[in-house]
Amino acid sequence: MWKKIKEFISKLNKNNRFIILTFIACFIFGLYLNSYSANIKQQEVPQEVSYVEFLEMVDEGKVKAVALDLKKPVFSFQDNEDKYYYTQNPKTADFKEFLLKKGISVTEVESTSQNALVTEILNSIRFILFFAFGIWLFKRTIPAQRNEEITDNIPNVTFDDIAGCKELKKDMQFIINYLKNPKEYTEMGARMPRGIVFYGPPGTGKTLTVKAIAGTAGVPFFSVSGSDFVEMFVGLGAKRVRDLYNKARKKAPCIVFIDEIDAVGTERGTTNNSERDQTINALLNELDGFNGTEGIVTIAATNRIEDLDHALIRPGRFDKHIAVPLPEREDRLAILKVHAKNKKFDASVKLEDIAAMTVGFSGAALEALLNEAAFIAVNEKKKCIDMNDIDTAFWRIIMKGDKKESHSRDKNELRIAAYHEAGHALATKLLTDEEVPKVTIIASTSGAGGVTFRTPKETSLVSKKYLRKLIQIMYAGRVGEFLLLKNEDEITTGASNDIQQATNLIKQYITTYGMSEKFGMINLNEFAKGTGVLSVASNENILDEASKLSKSLYDETVNLLKANEDILIEIAEELLKKETLNNSEIDEIIKKRRTKEGNEEKQVS
């Protein structure tokens, strides 16, 4: 037990260790005072004896000392064994003389007990100690912790250290030029944006990009997180904002970076958090105080720009919004080259192939992929990373788990999984020109029974027709199960994740993209904001429209796969044999079946 306590204390930083040890010392001292006070109180309540018994003890020479107060009806005395007693006070004029002649020590005391006075003093000392310590602890842990020195070092990261992001680097060049030569802009009458918001998915490198701007410009970099402003005590978050900008003004030109600003900058009035509202107001006041010549550039980052308070992102505040998207194929290749520099690869590993298969990966996810592959290679006692290690790492990241042995699975479950994944793969091939780099029925420890990987087109614009096809591809797994089992009552829960994705897409199709025939080009989300909430009837109408669209697309998918059921069966049976198929193998199955069907048609004719 003592060893664990020592280990815990050793892991604390210097300030926290001092606070805890001081508290323990005060606690122990308080226990000592309490014990000492208890002893005194015990002495204040001696044993009662009769006056006759007292006289007998005097005659027997057992009384050692008497504490006499002539004004009180009783007095206390002490025997030879230091035990305390009290008895009736005779209040006679010669009582003290009588005691002295018997050789008993007599002490005259005041009406107020000395021991009681000492007890009161000790109690007061104990209260003052703990009260003072409580104030000191509050001041040290709350304001001091929130006002720790914010580092303003110049980052050693520049744009040369960031792979890809050519357009973003180009967009950011004006900030660097301004920080290096602000006079050129002020002489022209140009005002620097008071605030800039970087938004995009997690892991796309928003923080790294801001550091690179400061590093390239060679200016101080103040970095805080939005959660640093969220305090339990009203006013501390706003004070921290003011302190931050006071320090920034002394170091201008500089960059103030607020990461995860959505932690404090969400729409005001949606909650009863007055502390957060005060913090936003303080930040707005600081931004309004800039005239564009101070040389302070405030950059914020968020994954949810739509949740930010409108007053925060309006013109004159955080008025420039820059998207930091997921990297495209060329950017992914450049990022992979950076993270591959310190790793050993087998000749089978082609970074171009990895870039092609990692659609939707952020820069952070690409780094994690190569790092995971390196771990796998070391654990397998290999001298370098090969493509099998990359594939296993890719599996772990996508499936969020390890592969499970197929022999431990029920044969019926395997067959259902094969037809489910065959449905996804075949629908992808029939409805789009996308590749299916891998389809497998190897289960994952995360619970997935298989997976079909697609390589979607990298485009920011998606057509109505393509969205409908995507929903059909999601439904194709359930359809594959149905065509195997021939009974709606026998279908399984394996399509739950597909249904969730399809539902989200249908919701966007109707409420956001304005593609519903019934509602037309109305963003129902904005409509709800403007009117408070949608009525129950409106919600029911949306659900009804979504249900109709879902059923229509499901029926289309059933008809599509029924018309190509022989191909579906062959893909599923090959999966049962090999567990995994790649794009070329799937294409070969489709080509072979269509050639065979064409020959049969010629023979019939």
Task: Answer yes or no: 367 catalytic.
Answer: no
DSSP per-residue string spanning 375-420: HHHHHTT-SSB-HHHHHHHHHHHHHTS-B--GGGS-HHHHHHHHHH
What are the phi and psi torsion angles at 84 (to 5°)? Answer: -105, 145
Q: Which of 489, 594, 498 is nearest to 553 (CA)?
A: 498
- Which of 286, 421, 435, 481 is an active site residue? 421
Instruction: Evaluate whether 228 touches 260 at the Cβ level (below 8 Å).
Output: no
- Across 512-528, b (16+ Cβ under 10 Å) vs e yields eeebbeebeeeebeeee
Instruction: Evaluate whether 359 touches 398 at the Cβ level (below 8 Å).
Output: no
Which parts of 236-309 fold into alpha helices (H)?
236-251, 274-288
Using CA atoms, how far apart are residues 394 and 369, in angstroms rounded to an integer?
6
User: Tokens at residue 404, please?
Assistant: 């499970």
Using CA atoms, how far apart are residues 214 and 254, in angstroms rounded to an integer?
8
Sign of CA dihedral 313, 314, 315, 321: positive
Using CA atoms, how far apart are residues 294 and 197, in angstroms rounded to an integer?
19
Q: Which of 557, 565, 566 is nearest to 479 (CA)?
A: 557
Element (H, E) at 526: helix 524-531
Active site residues: 421
